[in-house]
Chains A and B, each alone.
Chain A
């Protein structure tokens, strides 16, 4: 070997300016070297195929994906990671711009984005918005819809870099838009996600997964895996019983229309007796390193008697039912509304339109893959689980029970920074149960981080409805009846909310914002050999909105009426509230006409014909689509949850806890995974109590700290979680008022509380709330009978759902030659009630719309008809929207207050995903003159146009 040829193993390089030498394996990826060896966990891993860009760093001055570079290749080079970008605690101007423009939510993609943008803008040359979007091609963001990122890059490029940082406003109230408190840590790589957490003695688990979609397990041979180097133990379905491990169950017992119980089933945490979908975990291998665990998992040998897959299409049941308890593969037959009355109304209708609709199956794809890390302390007989959960207390309750811990509080669940959820992280999954089980069994901490392929195979999927629906109209275009028959794919096992989503939160939303007098909806929930299907952003409401809004457009065509006009004729009017729909729910308030009118104006609906003509002159087809929606959010009243078969109540909790020096900790049962609760909840508290904004700290995601909470989903954080905070704040005021009156020597009823100060009207003397907190803890001189200290806990159980509503308008231009769709304009006018942080709300709308556009144009999970295998199992096969795919979205607010909510808020997280699919697909149908199924790929559109031409 010549002198010049070096055998690697020893590498020397500069990392963030520091000289580093290390021994690495030839196969160590740069990203693993940075994270595991150098402790630089700001560089993230979001996929296995070099597509997400969460791992972008700079190598020798240019951006690279650290998952596609070997550490040995960086030998002799210089690597810069996100941790190097801010200097001396000062954010880089790009980081500042991202914070100021709210260009980040969960923060998981942010480090990679920063490193990419720094490279793409290295010469600081002017870039147009489309050029910025093109430059972001290598980075996926699932939260922001990219718009605020583009805004930030624009601001960064076009403003002088020595611009002083704006002073963070000292105090921010409801309605302000302070910089998010989360941002600094996310922007600098200091977010702490579950995968970043490691314990001394850490071990790793890898799962062997079924490549068969349906089969009887004859044998699982773990002998080779068990003997593989570095392996500590192997668990299979046969160990479940011996170790007393329970099974996962759905929390919602939906009754059949005839009153009988649904065909309930349980899910073993490792397959037992049968496998029921491609990707189901059949064994868990615990080993000293992730690589050893993965390698050994590959040595698990399984022998199956294959059974026919059952994908739920048509009437071809599998040769054997999935579950013994559901011989026809049906879980439930749920219905709402009088079938005969609806049929009569349909017969009497002047016009009837009918549609067969497919609501495509989606994979939520939060950019942070699911992860868990459990350790067990035998001296306390107690386990701690870090997990990517939207709902940590529910995880504690379910997992403690399944694993057989002595009591629920023998488990502490911590859900630290979580990189997006969109529903997929509400539920308890087998993998985290196995981590806790194995940590106790083997006496070592056990960690699991999903690969992106595992996310595709084993995360709960969303949607997947096949629907036949009819809408009847009278001669004036008034809706007379709606009948809906839906087959909802529930997957192989029932996930936590699986039965609730396509029944109660779908069927009861079919009135939409319209005065439909008679509605009948029948839903069959079907077991299939596919991954479990559960709540994904919008959960039931996007499916309902899609049914209503596409039927209305077909109705407009049949009646030769303008689609917006047809909607206006049918909208529930302001004076009609409270409005009892024929499908159980009562809308409290709203002004649907106001947002329809505003959206039409803002989208220049009236002059659309001119734009259509201009497109035609260029050989293009232009279409405009309107979608109005109302959703049930702020989920939800516990009594209604009980009536719908739910196991739990859906209240929320909050504790406000002053320190003896007047600092205020706010503990909430809500969980933030990108929504910015640390900021907006502090605004609520400041607004209510006048305590300086920066003295308020929000604490969430730790079952040892917060009161029992119900987590975040169903657009419930600000309305239910915020409601609990408001109630707790009121309790604080009540107690502090007694102390203030005593100290000021006036009657409590004469006390006024304003801006954090207690005083008697007209008098100069007064006391600040924080001074009272100090007095309460000093307790030297308190009113008799009053306890020292100042803290309050409140549980808020809403009286009703909140009902956000809105009108979205989407204008598309289609190239008939290629079928390519360009979204030219997108307008969203929403009623979210009171808005706490307008920029966060806009970001939620952008992100929701982007996911809705993804459903309409790109995304679809597909299983192979013959084998039942998931074909779209990577980002190479399943397209997520990228920056250039999403238009700038024109967002506006048309609020009415929610009267029954303590804050007047309604919630905003899901609206975009609810309205956008219908708006986009109506726009496409308008452009091409016929309706096609989602996703509207160029090939489908081209074929539809060709069929029109041929006809």
Chain B
């Protein structure tokens, strides 16, 4: 009748890649939590859906030296319960365990959340704060370089996400009252080399690293009042952040809390 795309369920990554090449404009589907409620929007013109949730190449969690690799088709629920994730980056396991609701966590995948292009998906904060790389079948892409929707080479498939294991990391989220996504959330990570990465996500904004705040926190350890000034400049004083007064307040407050807990910095003014 009007629209009746083909549906493929490849059993190997190779097959999936081949199907993707053969069917220009095909959509990949993993857990489907983003895609299925928006079928009208996405599937109207697509010739085929390719279900990749069962691909073994997209499963599994592994730790190698200072990096943690999570298969793109792992669900939020599985990530939140995974002993390796919990041990390596507890904040990431907690983040995954607080996404959506039980049903979303049972189905939704990390790869799907990242590839959906939802800018305030919680993982988008983790990608930046944890210096992640997107491992595709044919490439490795630095998370710092991805835009709204990760722009994979044509015909490529996200296989895994590889995170730097930080010395410590924390995620704070203010949930949008209705949608359930982050209204405002930050992740701060202190990496093995001492470097800080602070990522901000929120409703209607692009994920970004707050470099100026990172600098303020890193440089002014000795001088408390300078650090406070720098923080104020970097948050309330930074019009480019385009935060409402309330969000600027929450952001500042959360940064102060994390600086205290993670870095032992007292920035309460």
Instruction: Please list the residues of chain A having a beta carbon within 8 angstroms of any beta carbon in chain B.
Output: 1-2, 4-9, 25-27, 29, 48-51, 53, 56, 59, 62-65, 67-70, 72-73, 75, 116, 119-120, 135, 137-138, 228-230, 289, 291-292, 295, 817-819, 858, 875-879, 937-939, 942-943, 946
In the complex with contacts A50-B33, A229-B2, A8-B102 CB distance below 8 A: no
The answer on a CB contact under 8 Å between B2 and A291 is: yes
Interface positions, chain B 40-60, Cβ under 8 Å from A, are 43, 48-49, 51, 53
Complex Cα distance A2/B8, Å?
A: 12
The answer on a CB contact under 8 Å between B103 and A49 is: no
Interface check B25, CB cutoff 8 A:
no
Complex Cα distance A56/B3, Å?
A: 27
Look across to chain A and name the residue whose beta carbon is closest to the beta carbon of B75: A62
The answer on a CB contact under 8 Å between A2 and B9 is: no
The answer on a CB contact under 8 Å between A138 and B19 is: no
Look across to chain A and name the residue whose beta carbon is closest to the beta carbon of B181: A876
B3, B77, B101: the one contacting A138 at CB < 8 Å is B101
Interface check B65, CB cutoff 8 A:
no
B29, B100, B245: the one contacting A70 at CB < 8 Å is B29
The answer on a CB contact under 8 Å between A4 and B10 is: yes
Q: Could you pull out 14 A-B pairs where Cβ atoms are within 8 angstroms?
A: A5-B9, A8-B51, A29-B39, A48-B37, A50-B33, A68-B37, A68-B103, A70-B51, A72-B9, A119-B102, A138-B104, A229-B2, A292-B1, A818-B253
Complex Cα distance A937/B4, Å?
A: 44
B116 to chain A, nearest CB (A): 12
In the complex with contacts A25-B4, A27-B39, A69-B107, A875-B51 CB distance below 8 A: no
| Extra inter-chain contacts (8) besides given A7-B8, A138-B100, A943-B246, CB under 8 Å | A5-B9, A26-B6, A26-B7, A50-B33, A50-B37, A73-B29, A229-B2, A291-B2
Complex Cα distance A429/B62, Å?
A: 58
In the complex with contacts A70-B32, A817-B253, A65-B103 CB distance below 8 A: yes
A2: chain B residues at CB < 8 Å are 11-12, 15
Complex Cα distance A295/B174, Å?
A: 38
Interface check B5, CB cutoff 8 A:
yes
B43: chain A residues at CB < 8 Å are 26-27
Complex Cα distance A938/B48, Å?
A: 44
Look across to chain B and name the residue whose beta carbon is closest to the beta carbon of A55: B103
Give the number of residues in B that approach A within 8 Å (Cβ atoms). 44
Interface check B178, CB cutoff 8 A:
yes
A4: chain B residues at CB < 8 Å are 10-12, 15
Interface check B138, CB cutoff 8 A:
no
B240 to chain A, nearest CB (A): 21
For B103, B178, B245, B253, the residue with the greatest tally of chain A CB atoms inside 10 Å of its CB is: B103
Complex Cα distance A747/B250, Å?
A: 83
A5, A68, A289: the one contacting B107 at CB < 8 Å is A68
Look across to chain A and name the residue whose beta carbon is closest to the beta carbon of B5: A26
A6, A7, A29, A137: the one contacting B102 at CB < 8 Å is A137
Complex Cα distance A876/B183, Å?
A: 12
Interface check B241, CB cutoff 8 A:
no
Complex Cα distance A683/B12, Å?
A: 63
A295: chain B residues at CB < 8 Å are 2-3
A29: chain B residues at CB < 8 Å are 36, 39
Complex Cα distance A818/B246, Å?
A: 8
Complex Cα distance A937/B174, Å?
A: 13
Instruction: Please list the residues of chain B having a beta carbon within 8 angstroms of any beta carbon in chain A.
Output: 1-12, 15, 19, 29, 32-33, 36-37, 39, 43, 48-49, 51, 53, 77, 100-104, 106-107, 174, 177-180, 244-246, 249-250, 253
B36: chain A residues at CB < 8 Å are 29, 50, 67-70
Complex Cα distance A864/B107, Å?
A: 35
A877: chain B residues at CB < 8 Å are 178-179
Nearest 6 CB-CB pairs, A to B?
A: A138-B101, A26-B7, A8-B7, A879-B178, A4-B11, A939-B246
The answer on a CB contact under 8 Å between A63 and B103 is: yes
The answer on a CB contact under 8 Å between B19 and A5 is: yes
Look across to chain B and name the residue whose beta carbon is closest to the beta carbon of A938: B246
Look across to chain A and name the residue whose beta carbon is closest to the beta carbon of B43: A27
B250: chain A residues at CB < 8 Å are 818
A59: chain B residues at CB < 8 Å are 107
The answer on a CB contact under 8 Å between A56 and B103 is: yes
A48: chain B residues at CB < 8 Å are 37
B103: chain A residues at CB < 8 Å are 53, 56, 63-65, 68, 116, 138
B48: chain A residues at CB < 8 Å are 26
For B49, B106, B245, the residue with the greatest tally of chain A CB atoms inside 10 Å of its CB is: B106
B51: chain A residues at CB < 8 Å are 8, 70, 72-73
B174: chain A residues at CB < 8 Å are 818
The answer on a CB contact under 8 Å between A120 and B246 is: no
The answer on a CB contact under 8 Å between A27 and B178 is: no
A860 to chain B, nearest CB (A): 10
B32: chain A residues at CB < 8 Å are 68-70, 73
The answer on a CB contact under 8 Å between B102 and A67 is: no
In the complex with contacts A876-B178, A939-B244, A63-B6 CB distance below 8 A: no
Complex Cα distance A879/B11, Å?
A: 41
A142 to chain B, nearest CB (A): 15
Look across to chain A and name the residue whose beta carbon is closest to the beta carbon of B12: A4
Complex Cα distance A228/B244, Å?
A: 47
The answer on a CB contact under 8 Å between A63 and B102 is: yes
Complex Cα distance A72/B49, Å?
A: 10
B249: chain A residues at CB < 8 Å are 942
Complex Cα distance A145/B249, Å?
A: 33
A8: chain B residues at CB < 8 Å are 6-9, 51
Complex Cα distance A230/B2, Å?
A: 9
B123 to chain A, nearest CB (A): 18
Look across to chain B and name the residue whose beta carbon is closest to the beta carbon of A943: B246
B4, B37, B39, B178: the one contacting A878 at CB < 8 Å is B178
A378 to chain B, nearest CB (A): 29
Look across to chain A and name the residue whose beta carbon is closest to the beta carbon of B51: A73
B183 to chain A, nearest CB (A): 10
B26 to chain A, nearest CB (A): 11
B235 to chain A, nearest CB (A): 15
In the complex with contacts A4-B15, A8-B9, A68-B33 CB distance below 8 A: yes
B2 to chain A, nearest CB (A): 5
B39: chain A residues at CB < 8 Å are 27, 29
The answer on a CB contact under 8 Å between B37 and A292 is: no
For A53, A72, A120, A875, the residue with the greatest tally of chain B CB atoms inside 10 Å of its CB is: A72
A875: chain B residues at CB < 8 Å are 178
The answer on a CB contact under 8 Å between B4 and A27 is: yes
The answer on a CB contact under 8 Å between A858 and B5 is: no
For A70, A229, A818, the residue with the greatest tally of chain B CB atoms inside 10 Å of its CB is: A70
Complex Cα distance A295/B1, Å?
A: 10
Complex Cα distance A92/B153, Å?
A: 51
Complex Cα distance A26/B49, Å?
A: 7
The answer on a CB contact under 8 Å between B4 and A6 is: no
The answer on a CB contact under 8 Å between B2 and A228 is: yes
B179: chain A residues at CB < 8 Å are 876-877
B52 to chain A, nearest CB (A): 11
The answer on a CB contact under 8 Å between A27 and B3 is: yes
A157 to chain B, nearest CB (A): 16
A9, A67, A942, A946: the one contacting B37 at CB < 8 Å is A67
For A27, A49, A67, A942, the residue with the greatest tally of chain B CB atoms inside 10 Å of its CB is: A27
In the complex with contacts A72-B51, A875-B178, A292-B2 CB distance below 8 A: yes
B3: chain A residues at CB < 8 Å are 27, 295
B11: chain A residues at CB < 8 Å are 2, 4-5
Look across to chain A and name the residue whose beta carbon is closest to the beta carbon of B38: A49
A75: chain B residues at CB < 8 Å are 9
The answer on a CB contact under 8 Å between A62 and B106 is: yes
B49: chain A residues at CB < 8 Å are 26, 70, 72
Look across to chain A and name the residue whose beta carbon is closest to the beta carbon of B177: A879
A27, A50, A119, A876: the one contacting B104 at CB < 8 Å is A50
Complex Cα distance A841/B32, Å?
A: 41
In the complex with contacts A878-B178, A939-B244, A49-B37 CB distance below 8 A: yes
B171 to chain A, nearest CB (A): 16
A292: chain B residues at CB < 8 Å are 1-2
